[in-house]
Structure 1
């Protein structure tokens, strides 16, 4: 099915889906099937969410917890991008490097980021290093894989022309390989950001003394389901904002390159 999608129609369908979800939620709480202690109403969760915006819980307000979480995420995500993207490009260009790194990388990338939590706790305690390590573990593989794929699918005619002209490898990588791989790299960064953000929250549930994950753990300890659910909503909203920003960047880059469909 082709054709331009009507944004108004998309908005209405999204609102209809949200209304159906809230209706189901209200129905479950009204039926009494699930006790209110474990499933509060949407109104109670929203009220708790707004309260946490300016009232401290577990040592900070919700924006302060989010700021601490986002700082950890930014460090881990940027570290993954700065190391992963160049590594992926170099692996796609230099076969020897690919053969050396791929067996190690392919083994490590299947280890769930949360599996690194014990090491993070032992090595860094509750400091910032532990969560950054876990975020890096989640965000690093997509950066490498998509940069690698971008390098592998560069038009071979461009490479052949550069080789015929005696272009040095450094210039081929920076002036041909990197620009041609940008759409794939941006797609990888979108996946990387999502996995990194999810990994952060998992890390904060165990290795943190401040952050939205830590706030949720304290909410659970205090049997405050509304606090836990308010934290979940905050996590979802920040994740949506991150993905929307990267999706916009991807669309702008594809439009500039004439590749947008």
Structure 2
């Protein structure tokens, strides 16, 4: 018998989260002060925070931290939205039509197992350090979850609703948009959360190699300058933006589930 975990009260959950964060920072600070790792390779959290504040206003590798973040977020949104606009409709159509499913599935199954980072050499050959390279790599990471969750959501739609719509002479595109899409929406939003995480990770990998701006590019330049604090600032910024993206999508998911529960 499976025992389901009961959610903790919000206050207690926040306290536990703060305790875990403080414990991590304490362990980091203790290790940095212990001398077990050279200081140039492991600065303390206060030094990283100070460097973070400096980089917000002082340019490094061609721009401030905020400018690099803006470049990264813009690339991410371009690739992520493209993946959503292609993957969600295609997944719904595959769930609706066996013919489309049979045509697309073999190609999709072959491509989705290629890691996004494996597209980097191909993207560099095609696009160099232009916008197309990172866009391709982000798309490669974000596209599969969009399609898979839209497809699964469409497959779990009550077939009687689809049959009733077909009996009433509803055109295929309206069946998809007015019957399948609303029913599959929770699964689609869950897929977007996964897609956003993979797309953001793919972006950073792309910027390490095929970009001339962005947080990943800033980190590569910091590595060459042996500026560990700057590298760690980039890592912290990547994590914070990732958390913000996921939190936004979680709020959207909660609103959709609440709305469907009231309907």
Give the equivalent residue in structure 2 for 1:162: 165
1:39 to 33, 39, 42: 42
Q: Which runs of 5+ in 2 are unaligned?
A: none
Give the equivalent residue in structure 2 for 1:144: 147
Quote the offset at 1:119 in angstroms: 0.9
Match of 1:219, SS state, is helix
Instruction: Return 242-251 or 165-174, whichever deviates more.
Output: 165-174
TM (normalized to structure 2)? 0.96
What is the RMSD computed on CA atoms of the aligned residues?
1.3
TM (normalized to structure 1)? 0.97
Match of 1:196, SS state, is helix
Cα distance in 1, alignment partners of residues 108 and 32 from structure 2: 47
Give the equivalent residue in structure 1 for 2:69: 66
Cα distance in 2, alignment partners of residues 209 and 30 from structure 1: 35
Give the equivalent residue in structure 1 for 2:78: 75
Give the equivalent residue in structure 1 for 2:259: 256
- 4+ runs deviating over 6 angstroms: none
Cα distance in 1, alignment partners of residues 60 and 110 from structure 2: 41
Q: Which runs of 5+ in 1 are unaligned?
A: none
Corresponding position: 1:239 with 2:238 = no
Query: Pairwise mapping of residues 86-97 of structure 1 onto structure 2 (< 5 A)?
Result: 86-97=89-100
Give the equivalent residue in structure 2 for 1:201: 204
Query: Pairwise mapping of residues 193-232 of structure 1 onto structure 2 (< 5 A)?
Result: 193-232=196-235
2:132 to 122, 129, 142: 129
The count of residues paired between Structure 1 and Structure 2 equals 260
Match of 2:179, SS state, is helix
